[in-house]
A and B are shown apart, each in its own frame.
Chain A
Amino acid sequence: MKTIYFNKFYKSFNILSGILIIASLVFLVFKGLNFGVDFKGGTLIELRTDTSSANITKIRDSFNQMNLGDVSVKNFGNETDFVVKFEKQNSNDPQFIEEIKTILSNSIGTVDFRRVENVGPKVSAELLRSGVIAIALSLAAMLLYIWIRFEWQFSLGAILALFHDVIITLGVFSVFSLEINLSIVAAVLTIVGYSMNDTVVIFDRVRENLRKYADVKIFELTNISINETLSRTIITSVTTLLALLSIFIFGGEILKGFSLAMILGVIFGTYSSIYIANPVLVSLKVSQRTIVKEEKE
């Protein structure tokens, strides 16, 4: 197979990644994330109307008259399905949801509440905290694992690649105001696993090649290793993306955000294994001595 010179573009892609990360951070800090009821508290109602005359404006108007705080209404999958979110949560009043349903039926006709989620402020704060802890913990666990398995230069490269993927994925969610809920946390953790997996495969090869070719510079060596593992990288990304696309397209509205986050993560994860993890090895001047020294110790 023809050799592709990935290493020629290390610099340009590093600049690109740098820009993307900074842009993501700017968005995360100034625009923030669109937290769903899981993390913000409030009420979510997924409803199905039986007439096509019901539209977003009508539904929003009737909800606005009920004094429920900030209301957002979105189409959900098809024309008759909507998701309504509002600030107020009052699950202690057993009639709360029933009353909303009655008022709504009077203004827009028969509605069916397919899903109701009602999360109090205490629970949402806890869910947010445990989500953040879970992500931090998994990053720490990966760091620990790779630190045991490889030399520190490799660990640094892999961890930088991980941060890159997580930050940019969250950045995309911020830019497009996509909802962050519990399943997105699961997606981010899986991305962390996948990205690590991808990096480890290339790194294993780099280390093997370091032993094999004593006189090849690391700049060349990373390129050889990337090329040798390239068909595997492509095939695995393709099969994973095929599975994820199938969830995204056919898996229903509830899994849309989750599969989208995963798709982004797999793309960024594959890219970062090549263009973040490897340049780190190059700039840290990893050589045969790096691994020989470690092995002697």
Chain B
Amino acid sequence: MLYFSKLRVFSVLIFTLIISYFTISNFTKVDDEFFSKNIKLGLDLQGGSYLLLEIDNEPVITQRLQSKVLEFKKFFKDKNIKVRNFVIEDKSIIFDVENSKIEEVKSLLDDDESEINPYFQQYKSHQFNIENMDTSFKLEFSDYGLVLLKNSSLDQAIEIVRRRVDEVGTNEPNILKRGNDRILVELPGLDDPGRIKSLLGKTANLTFQFISSSSEESFGTEKLSFEDGTSEAIVSKRIVLSGDNLMDAKPTMNNQTNETVVSFSLDRVGAKKFGKATSNGVGKRLAIVLDGKIISAPEVREPIIGGNGQISGNFTFQSATDLALLLRSGALPAPLNIIEERTVGPDLGKDSINAGIMSLIIGFILVVAFMFYKYRFFGLIANLALISNLFLLVGILTLFEATLTLPGIAGIILTVGMAVDANVLIFERIKEELKNENNSIVAFDSGYTKSRTTILDANITTLIAAVILFFMGSGPIKGFSITLGVGILTTLFSVYFIARLITAYYVIKNKHKEKLI
């Protein structure tokens, strides 16, 4: 165990130096992306906001079922099959079929090549599960059908969330999918997430609907309240125009009234629709409805043909800017709920870094002093191994751009405390061997050999804990598991390569000396 080939010595040195470089690169400035790597700080250290959003998929499911009903109606009509009594109930579609066509409908729905109820070979599942009782059919989303639907609405939502966050212009936001109905948003440096939260909390479904004069309209009417909650109005259910046709929106000043308004421009289809509706509706009041609340309902004085318009409604410049932003980024497919929020102010982050570094330095000094006191020269070797261990650990974390969190710093300090264990095990074993063995080289050699399994056992147990934490933990705790786990690997390296190398040189040089350790 004491013999090292020249090549081995060389590679250990090179490896240690290269990795250690990345520890140092945290404190230097180099004009190269690769060589100026810095360790990434977690939100708890640099300050910032962490938001976990969950999509409320209920409305999406209902919507999809509604459009599916239309599809079914058309499909069966084309096939000359009479179906009636379509109902959407309890997240399923129910309909009746004429007696003679039951089997035909069954095969149309249950076929692997079904056009209307697609079959997914790899999941062995149709989009819908079918239940049939006499003439009645009941269709319900299959598990996979539901996953598919959730995924597509999540993909859409994540895109909209990204646009909204980007428009606000925070630095380096991190937006990730979590499962099939959640979105994780990390906003470094943001200590007041109020604005982002209000932007993400809005679905931003914009519609233009006429205020109804008579309650008997062909499309039906609904009662909606105004945004400020002061009054209500009866509105026709007929949607003149929706936000989908919006091309751009921005806050502007209306010169006549000196009011802040949101100006918008429509695409060609939208402009045409809007022109037609406003021509027919001169004199009527057109309600501008956002997420079921009326923003304002101005009277149409003349047809609006150019595709440009303005939304007024007691805006401040800020609220007009936000509405414009929402309209530009588009509507979410479904409402988002914020189910978890963690915000750390930049001060606290800085305090945490300082406290973490302080305790690292003090913990390190205490351990180093104790080891020197216990083992003298060999304490120095263990301490040298400890220092290179620290450099390797921080270097690897930097190289792989791992995120350092406050518990992560605690993991580093804990590594400092536990890392000496391996060297202690070896030194104690060597002491025992020296009692019965006069040849110190032999004693050292068997000290290393005999303690090896114990050291592996001891480190593997901690490594198991770290790996489980990594997979089960979230955020800051993950940071802890990473430093703890990587720390074990660097510990083993520093003990078996660096400390052993120095020990070997020393022992071979001083093999005739009494009381080596």
Give me the interface of A with B, judged by CB distance under 8 Å. 46, 48, 91-92, 94-95, 97-98, 112-120, 122-123, 127, 130-131, 133-134, 137-138, 141-142, 145, 149, 182-183, 185-186, 189-190, 192-194, 196-197, 200-201, 204-205, 228-229, 231-232, 235-236, 238-247, 249-252, 254-255, 258-259, 262
The stretch of B19-27, B287-295, B416-424 that contacts the partner chain = B416-424
Q: A114-B347, A138-B468, A243-B417 are in contact. Are A201 and B473 (CB under 8 A)?
A: no
Q: A182-B477, A183-B477, A239-B370 are in contact. Are A141 and B464 (CB under 8 A)?
A: yes
B367 contact from A183, A204, A243, A247, Cβ within 8 A: A243
Most buried by B among A194, A204, A235, A241: A235
Does B240 count as interface, using CB distance less than 8 angstroms?
Answer: no
Point out the residue from B339, B344, B363 that lies within 8 Å of A114, measured CB to CB.
B344
The answer to whether A204 and B457 have CB atoms under 8 Å apart is yes
**B291 CB to closest chain A CB, in angstroms?**
13
> Interface with A: B83-91, B407-415, B438-446, which one?
B407-415
Task: Please determine whether A258 and B410 come into contact, CB atoms closer than 8 angstroms.
Answer: yes
Within 8 Å CB of A114, what residues of B? 344-345, 347-348
**Taking the complex as formed, is B198 at the interface, i.e. its CB lies under 8 A from any CB of chain A?**
yes
Total interface residues in chain B, CB < 8 Å: 73
Cβ contacts under 8 Å, B195 to chain A: 94
Which of A127, A189, A192, A251 lies in contact with B355, CB distance below 8 A? A251
- List of 5 A-B pairs having minimum Cβ-Cβ separation, nearest first: A243-B417, A246-B363, A252-B355, A193-B465, A94-B198
* Other-chain contact of B340, A112, A120, A245 (Cβ < 8 Å): A120
- A contact face: mostly helix, strand, loop, or mixed: helix
The distance in angstroms between the C-alpha atoms of A134 and B474, with both chains bound, is 12
A-B contact pairs, 17 of them (CB 8 A): A91-B197, A92-B337, A114-B347, A119-B340, A120-B338, A138-B465, A190-B462, A193-B463, A200-B454, A201-B425, A239-B367, A243-B418, A244-B363, A245-B366, A246-B363, A252-B351, A252-B356
B243 at the interface (CB under 8 A from A): no
Assess whether B348 is in contact with A137, with CB atoms less than 8 Å apart: no
Do residues B359 and A251 form an inter-chain contact, with CB atoms below 8 A?
A: yes
Q: Which of B322-348 contact A (CB under 8 A)?
A: 337-345, 347-348
State whether A240 and B370 are in contact (beta carbons under 8 Å apart), knowing that A97-B194, A182-B474, A200-B458 are contacts in the complex: no
Pick the contact of A115: B348, B410, B418 (CB < 8 A): B348
**Is A46 in contact with B338, judged by CB distance below 8 angstroms?**
no
From B337, B358, B476, contact of A182 by CB (8 A): B476
Asked whether A236 lies within 8 Å of B464 as measured between CB atoms, the reply is: no
- Chain B, residue nearest A228 (CB): B432
* Beyond known contacts A192-B465, A235-B370: 4 more, CB 8 A cutoff: A137-B472, A239-B424, A252-B352, A255-B355
Chain A residues whose C-beta falls within 8 Å of the C-beta of B425 in the assembled complex: 201, 232
Q: A95-B194, A190-B414 are in contact. Are A118 and B341 (CB under 8 A)?
A: yes
- Indicate whether B371 reaches chain A with its CB closer than 8 angstroms: yes
Which chain B residues lie closer than 8 Å to A239 at the CB level?
Answer: 367, 370-371, 417-418, 420-421, 424
Closest Cβ–Cβ distance, residue B161 to chain A (whole Å): 15
B362 interface residue, CB < 8 Å from A?
A: yes
Task: Take A134-B469, A250-B362 as given contacts and tell me if A232 and B428 are in contact as well, using a CB distance cutoff of 8 Å.
Answer: yes
**Residues B469 and A243 in contact, CB atoms below 8 Å apart:** no
The yes or no answer to B94 lying at the interface (CB within 8 A) is no
Which one of A185, A192, A235 contacts B477 once the chains associate, using CB atoms below 8 Å? A185
Q: Pick the residue among A92, A149, A182, A252 that contacts B201 (CB under 8 A).
A: A92
